[in-house]
Structure 1
């Protein structure tokens, strides 16, 4: 199955103009970096507030960034399945023997366009680690990773840098820490520590 590339609104789109206007009216400045290819992973950090979702949605539609997200396949049934797909949704069978990570990697092999956006914390509350799913997906699929952020002190939201992980988790984590060192969420104390859980 091939995934249709999410439609990017034209410059004349009233919806795109409205989303950008609202984002900027709230005091936010969008930062946009062109996607380097047809497939990859985007992580968004830190995630400490419900406001992050609204800001991210306004950014996504306002800039026309063609990103995707994954959800359990049962969500994509009638009557909302078509709408969710048009919004960039990709159905995944979480019951598959390969698990969520394996299913996500398989999607990169069967879709001609897939930029999967993930919040590696998986929660708005502080934890002593982030989830490694995004890392495993990127390494196994051999795709680049974009660093997305919502920085409240500077009120900037966007995507600024892309990397390819080496497979050395600690070395790659240093790249992540360096990029996000000056990024702060709405509630800085709730941001999870940038390290993977020790196995």
Structure 2
């Protein structure tokens, strides 16, 4: 999707987050992205809840750039982490940084736990890497899709393209429940995009 770079002065559609803190953080994120040579394309949609499809994901740096992009759009980005990350004296800080804990010992699985987290939140944008790993893989995991279906929320398509140094907000995608039909439509947004380690990202059909 072509468009002006919001970092160059064009104002994107902001999320409802307001106030001095949000404005200062937005400027910090803008400076961080600009200093690293990143451009932004697209408006952040007016959706209080969504599963953000975070791809390509081939490096630990990807999370930093996505957090900065979300901060620029005044959006709070959340991510899944092990329960042990919050079961300690600094757990409050980890939660504040965006962690939504997953208890792998619980009777309910990840999808059910995330659906419950969405149900208990007024606003929740949960970032999930569909590849499920930073290593090279020819297939995408279905977890991101199943979470969206279980929580009855849309997918928010974002493309972290190192080839053009552009983070694109592709908009919302409403899953139909037919994963085999929807997956090629979702992957089409990522054709031509390159990860930081280009050989480790693929949008080929799942085997």
Normalising by structure 1, report the TM-score. 0.84
**Larger RCO (alpha carbons 8 Å, 6+ apart):** 1
2:76 is the counterpart of 1:59: no
Q: Deviations over 1:168-187 (max 9, x none)?
A: 11210121121111322122
Paired residues, number? 192
Cα displacement (A) at 1:12: 7.6
**Do the aligned partners of 1:151 and 1:184 also contact (CA within 8 Å) in 2?**
yes
CA distance 1:180–1:195, shift in 2 (3 Å) = same
Q: RMSD value over aligned CA atoms?
A: 2.4
2:39 is the counterpart of 1:39: no
Cα displacement (A) at 1:112: 1.8
Stretches of structure 1 that go unaligned for 5 or more consecutive residues are: 1-5
Stretches of structure 2 that go unaligned for 5 or more consecutive residues are: 1-15
Return the alpha-carbon distance in structure 1 between the equivalents of residues 200 and 32 of structure 2: 26
Normalising by structure 2, report the TM-score. 0.81
2:96 is the counterpart of 1:86: yes
CA distance 1:92–1:125, shift in 2 (3 Å) = closer
Secondary structure, counterpart of 2:77 in structure 1:
coil
CA distance 1:81–1:11, shift in 2 (3 Å) = closer
Matches within 5 A, 1:33-182: 33-182=43-192
Return the alpha-carbon distance in structure 2 between the equivalents of residues 56 and 110 of structure 1: 24
**Do the aligned partners of 1:8 and 1:65 also contact (CA within 8 Å) in 2?**
no
